[in-house]
């Protein structure tokens, strides 16, 4: 696996050292994304992407704060409850812990399209995180995601962005645009973390 392009991720020498907060999208970055229109509605549908937990552990060990920012429209659609999502995330955290990895915060949007200010590409999830972590700001944060709304949200705030390009057959509409807009394009979280550290 090779980084296909790094453009504008580190504009100046020293930018890398300023990075302190890493925002991760969930589906397609940490765990295998279900087919378009399908959702992770229970833990038995969860499949880790190879090396994802170890990549999060590497970020932890480097002293970076790692935050999840995930759209969970399945809740708006009635396919998943808040409790069901909390259960999935509790299991995810337990598995991460076993591998020496930790998420410092999880932010999710339970809403449908066009209903709120937090569903990415809106920026509400990040603004909440910036309130919870006063040391965080767009200048010392990066967003790693596998869809155009992830990259758009990061760019709206002026964060650095890394696009995780999925397998071609799984690529969403907007992938080409996301790859064009992102500061870097990689094929996995493992590769993204290699770039950041
Ligand atoms: Mg995703
Ligand atoms: Zn929302």
pLDDT in tens, 87-140: 999 999 999 999 999 999 999 999 999 999 999 999 999 999 999 999 999 999
Nearest-ligand number for the alpha carbon of 31: 1
Q: What is the pTM of this model?
A: 0.93
Cα–Cα distance measured from residue 181 to residue 148, given in angstroms and rounded to the nearest whole number: 9
Nearest-ligand number for the alpha carbon of 110: 2
- Give the tens place of pLDDT for each residue, 44-93: 999 999 999 999 999 999 999 999 999 999 999 999 999 999 999 999 99
Give 126 Cα–ligand 2 centroid separation in angstroms: 11
Cα–Cα distance measured from residue 185 to residue 197, given in angstroms and rounded to the nearest whole number: 16
Give 151 Cα–ligand 1 centroid separation in angstroms: 10
Bridge-based pairing of strands 160-164 and 105-109 is unpaired
Give 19 Cα–ligand 2 centroid separation in angstroms: 26
Domains of the chain in sequence order: 5-196 (3.40.50.1000)
| Torsional class of 18: left (φ above 0), alpha (ψ -120 to 50), beta (otherwise) | alpha
Residues that are catalytic: 25, 27
Give 19 Cα–ligand 1 centroid separation in angstroms: 22
90: Cβ–Cβ under 8 A, 6 or more apart, which residues?
Answer: none
Cα–Cα distance measured from residue 184 to residue 188, given in angstroms and rounded to the nearest whole number: 12
């Amino acid at each position: 696996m090779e980084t296909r392009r790094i453009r504008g991720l580190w504009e100046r020498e020293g930018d890398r050292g300023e990075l302190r907060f890493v925002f991760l999208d969930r589906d397609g970055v940490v765990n295998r994304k279900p087919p378009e229109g399908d959702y992770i509605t229970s833990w038995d549908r969860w499949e880790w992407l190879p090396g994802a937990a170890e990549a999060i552990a590497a970020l932890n060990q480097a002293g970076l704060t790692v935050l999840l920012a995930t759209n969970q429209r399945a809740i708006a659609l009635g396919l998943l409850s808040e409790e069901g999502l909390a259960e999935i995330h509790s299991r995810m955290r337990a598995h991460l812990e076993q591998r020496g990895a930790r998420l410092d915060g999880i932010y999710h949007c339970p809403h449908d399209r066009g209903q709120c200010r937090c569903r990415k590409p809106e920026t509400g999830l990040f603004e909440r995180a910036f309130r919870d972590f006063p040391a965080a700001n767009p200048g010392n944060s990066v967003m790693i995601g596998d869809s155009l709304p992830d990259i758009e949200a990061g760019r709206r705030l002026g964060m650095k962005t890394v696009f995780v390009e999925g397998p071609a057959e799984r690529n969403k509409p907007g992938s080409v645009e996301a790859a064009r807009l992102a500061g870097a394009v990689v094929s996995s979280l493992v590769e993204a973390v290699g770039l950041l550290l």
